[in-house]
Each structure stands twice: as structure tokens, then as C-alpha cells.
């Protein structure tokens, strides 16, 4: 049973790649609409730059910008091998995370596919282990970092409902498992990450029928999680029809997405300009690219690079150079990059997919949302209302405040 005796359970649910425009459709669906009636819905919320999954989720987990927590982009790029390694492990984060705070406060935690939690002390843990290595080695890491034995009964129970071990199946498993844990009061603090809509937007574009179906399925999964919340509410003497009084809930997105028709490959262009990776190279993050210049670059290569940059900044699809503030806040300067560029929406730097993110925050129709529910977050008269503006960083700060106010003072949960 729960170890926390002094506060309400905290539930964080991330709907990956749900934009503010998607909220219009979500509000027509029963479960999101019901949740919105219980809480304060913030629309037109800014994400963070770089607006990619791992930097944003880490900022939510730490309450600070990437320049402070140190997680620059989803991956580490090796220009010599032309390969990428995902920044998946907690050890890469420079500051205290929400799971760390929860553990210190004596809370029992549950994290399911939340980025950068491998290595955290989490009792119920479905670790996200992305990468390009073989499924065999990823499987070994998954078993090592996850609460494999605790979750095994759930795998067998919900295997048929999941149908396959893709994003759809994983999201299904997360919802049913979270429902059971919440209903039986097994944890104090939940971090749940549903990813299928992001996957569908990448592969079919943001306006496709597959995306619409995925958003509808997100709503069904929210309904499954609500079943557990309602059961626990009734057990605690509450009435779900009157609101949620025994939980604090943060439901949010991490970034929006744009349709893509053309990709630009900056490193291929450098190669054509006879500039090798030993002199300079770009890390591409889809909605931006960042240039690393070797401190030992030759005078000849430096002259070639100057000519290249003048042409590159004016080529079709390149919108503008990144500002000093964007370079700093994104963590790019600390990661060793000198300057960066962002493309016109519709273009992307790097891999060609039908939908991409990672863009700067000055683009139209690129905002997200968050919804806060519960007496630890809103006043009773705020339920069912909407506001506009703000930053997703507020979610992290609110979650940190909840964790710090909740829990025992008798040491860490075991």
C-alpha cells in the first residue's frame, strides 16, 4: 500500500505531440472533456526550445531550462561515425529530478515510458530504452532498468489487449496498469507518457486519419486511467461526479508538430563544400540545426566555412539564424555549438518524416496545453475554466511544489 500518509497522490500524464489545435478535438471527446470540467485548462502554452521530447520532459522533471539541466536534444551525434546515441539515462541530468525528490520524500513512485528515468529509484518502472542498437541489447537494458518482476503479472494480464509491442500496445499497457495501481493505492507519484500520437504524426503528417484515430484512442486511455482514479476516490469517500478531491493531476503535452514536405541535410552540404567533420559539423534536431566548429580548424577550412554559411543562411527553407538567447536556453553553447539555424515550417533539418518538431517558439500554431486538477493546484471556482498563455516549464515547477509538500519526513520509500 502507499507509504505516503500526509498528502494526495500526484498523477502526471504526458500526451506526446498533442498541440493546442488538437485540444479543440479532444474537448469533443468524453474523457478529456470530463477531465477539463474538473480542472483549469491552459491553452496557447509555449513549449521549450529545443522543442523535442527529451529536453522538454527533462525540463518538466527538473523545473529548469536545458541550459541548466544539461540535456541538449534527444540524442548525442557522432559526426565521424555518422551515428546517434539516445540521451536516455538519468546520469546525464545535472540537477535533481522529480523521481529523486519523490524518493527523498518517502513517496512510492511509478514511471512508465517517461524519458530519462533509467537509473532512477522507482518502484513501478516501465523504462523507455530507445536507440538504434539491436532489440536484443535494448531488451537487456529494458529488463535491467524496469521493474520487470513487479510488472510481469500485468504483462500477462494485458498482453491480448496490447496486441503488439508498438507505441499503440505500450500506451495500452500503461493505461491499464496505471488504472490498477491507482485504484489499489500502490503508489503516491505517477509519471505516465503516452506516445502513439507523436509516432503517427511523424509517419503520416499532423492532419491524417491515423492521427485522428490516435487522438481518439488517447481519450479512451484517459478513460481507463479515470476508472482507477474514480475507484480510489470512492474508496476515500469522495464523489467523482462532483470533482476530484483526493488527487492532484497534471495532464500536458510536450511539443506541437508541423507537416513536412522537404528536408535539408546540412552535413551533406558541408561535404559538398569540401568541409569535413574534423573541421565542422552540424547536429540536426529537425526544427533546428547547430554548428560545431573545431578549435583546430585550419585557415583554409575556416574560409570555406565562411563562404558556406553565407550561402546556407540564404538558401530556400532556411528561415533565420538562432538568437543568442535561443542558443543559451537550449543548452547548445554548453554542448559546444557556436551557432544555429531554424528552417521555415514545412522544411526540416535531418531525417525526412511527414511530421517533425524541434522548431523555435516564434512560429504560428506551435503551442501546446496543460490541464491542472485537484485541491493542491487550483481553487474550487477555477474548475471548468480556461486560460491562455504561459510556459510548459510551469508544469515542472507545480509538480516539484506538490512533491515537496507531500510525503513523509521519515526517509525514503523502500
**Chain Cα centroid distance, residue 120:** 17
Asked if residue 414 has pLDDT above 60, the reply is no
| Structural contact between residues 129 and 88, judged by C-beta atoms closer than 8 angstroms | yes
Element (H, E) at 151: helix 148-162
Say which residue, 226 or 160, is predicted with more confidence.
Answer: 226
**Chain Cα centroid distance, residue 58:** 7
Asked if residue 133 has pLDDT above 80, the reply is no
Q: 348, 350, 370, 351: which is closest to 359 by C-alpha?
A: 348
Check residue 162 and give its pLDDT: 81
Cell representation of residue 151: 510488472
Check residue 81 and give its pLDDT: 86
Check residue 296 and give its pLDDT: 96
Burial class of residue 368 in the structure, from the number of CB atoms within 10 Å of its CB (0-12 exposed, 13-18 middle, 19+ buried)? buried
State the pLDDT confidence band at 411, using cuts at 50, 70 and 90: very low
- Predicted TM-score (pTM) of the model is 0.95
| Structural contact between residues 364 and 389, judged by C-beta atoms closer than 8 angstroms | no
Q: Tens of pLDDT along 255-282?
A: 999 999 999 999 999 999 999 999 999 9
| Structural contact between residues 81 and 267, judged by C-beta atoms closer than 8 angstroms | no
Kindly state the percentage of the chain with pLDDT values over 70.
96
Residues 6+ apart with CB under 8 A from 68: 62, 94, 95
Question: What gap in Å lies between CA 281 and CA 265, rounded to an integer?
Answer: 11
Instruction: Compute the Cα dihedral for 127, 352, 70, 54 and give only its sign.
Output: negative
Kindly report the backbone phi and psi dihedral angles of residue 110, in degrees, each rounded to the nearest multiple of 5, phi listed first: -135, 125
Question: What gap in Å lies between CA 298 and CA 343, rounded to an integer?
Answer: 29
Q: Tens of pLDDT along 318-337?
A: 999 999 999 999 999 999 99
**Chain Cα centroid distance, residue 220:** 20
Q: Return the minimum-mean-pLDDT range out of 66-70, 87-91, 92-96, 366-370.
A: 87-91
| Structural contact between residues 30 and 133, judged by C-beta atoms closer than 8 angstroms | no
Check residue 2 and give its pLDDT: 56
Check residue 250 and give its pLDDT: 98
Domains of the chain listed by start with CATH number: 10-257+362-405 (3.40.720.10), 262-352 (3.30.1360.110)
* Average pLDDT of the chain, as a whole number: 94
Check residue 412 and give its pLDDT: 41
**Average pLDDT score over residue span 5-23:** 91
Q: Tens of pLDDT along 52-71?
A: 999 999 999 999 999 999 99
Amino acid at each position: 500500500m502507499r507509504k505516503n500518509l500526509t498528502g494526495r497522490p500526484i498523477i502526471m500524464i504526458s500526451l506526446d505531440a498533442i498541440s493546442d489545435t488538437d485540444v479543440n478535438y479532444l474537448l469533443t471527446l468524453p474523457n478529456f472533456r470530463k477531465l477539463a470540467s474538473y480542472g483549469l485548462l491552459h491553452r496557447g502554452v509555449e513549449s521549450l526550445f529545443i522543442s523535442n521530447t527529451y529536453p522538454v520532459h527533462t525540463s518538466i522533471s527538473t523545473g529548469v531550462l536545458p541550459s541548466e539541466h544539461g540535456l541538449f536534444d534527444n540524442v548525442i551525434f557522432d559526426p565521424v561515425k555518422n551515428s546517434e546515441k539516445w540521451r536516455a539515462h538519468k546520469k546525464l541530468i545535472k540537477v535533481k529530478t522529480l523521481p529523486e525528490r519523490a524518493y527523498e520524500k518517502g513517496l512510492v513512485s511509478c514511471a512508465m515510458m517517461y524519458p530519462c528515468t533509467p537509473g532512477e529509484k522507482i518502484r513501478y518502472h516501465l523504462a523507455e530504452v530507445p536507440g538504434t542498437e539491436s532489440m536484443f541489447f535494448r531488451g537487456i537494458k529494458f529488463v535491467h532498468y524496469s521493474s520487470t518482476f513487479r510488472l510481469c503479472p500485468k504483462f500477462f494480464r494485458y498482453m491480448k489487449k496490447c496486441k503488439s509491442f508498438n507505441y499503440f500496445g505500450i500506451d495500452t499497457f500503461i493505461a491499464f496498469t496505471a488504472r490498477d495501481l491507482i485504484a489499489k493505492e500502490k503508489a503516491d507519484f505517477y509519471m505516465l507518457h503516452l506516445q502513439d500520437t507523436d509516432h503517427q504524426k511523424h509517419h503520416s503528417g499532423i492532419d491524417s486519419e491515423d492521427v485522428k484515430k490516435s487522438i481518439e484512442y488517447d481519450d479512451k486511455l484517459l478513460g481507463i486511467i479515470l476508472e482507477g482514479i474514480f475507484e480510489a476516490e470512492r474508496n476515500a469517500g469522495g464523489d467523482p461526479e462532483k470533482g476530484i478531491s483526493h488527487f492532484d493531476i497534471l495532464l500536458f503535452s510536450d511539443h506541437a508538430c508541423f507537416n513536412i514536405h522537404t528536408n535539408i541535410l546540412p552535413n551533406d552540404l558541408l561535404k559538398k563544400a569540401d568541409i569535413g567533420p574534423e573541421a565542422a559539423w552540424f547536429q540536426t534536431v529537425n526544427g533546428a540545426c547547430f554548428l560545431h566548429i573545431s578549435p583546430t580548424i585550419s585557415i583554409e577550412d575556416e574560409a570555406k566555412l565562411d563562404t558556406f554559411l553565407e550561402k546556407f543562411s540564404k538558401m530556400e527553407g532556411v528561415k533565420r539564424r538562432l538568437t543568442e538567447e535561443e542558443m543559451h536556453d537550449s543548452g547548445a553553447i554548453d554542448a559546444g555549438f557556436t551557432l544555429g539555424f531554424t528552417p521555415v515550417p514545412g522544411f526540416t533539418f535531418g531525417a525526412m518524416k511527414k511530421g517533425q518538431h524541434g522548431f523555435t517558439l516564434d512560429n504560428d500554431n506551435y503551442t501546446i496545453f496543460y490541464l491542472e486538477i485537484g485541491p493542491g493546484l487550483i481553487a474550487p471556482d477555477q474548475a471548468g475554466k480556461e486560460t491562455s498563455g504561459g510556459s510548459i516549464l510551469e508544469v515542472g515547477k507545480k509538480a516539484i511544489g506538490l512533491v515537496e509538500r507531500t510525503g513523509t519526513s521519515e526517509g525514503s520509500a523502500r
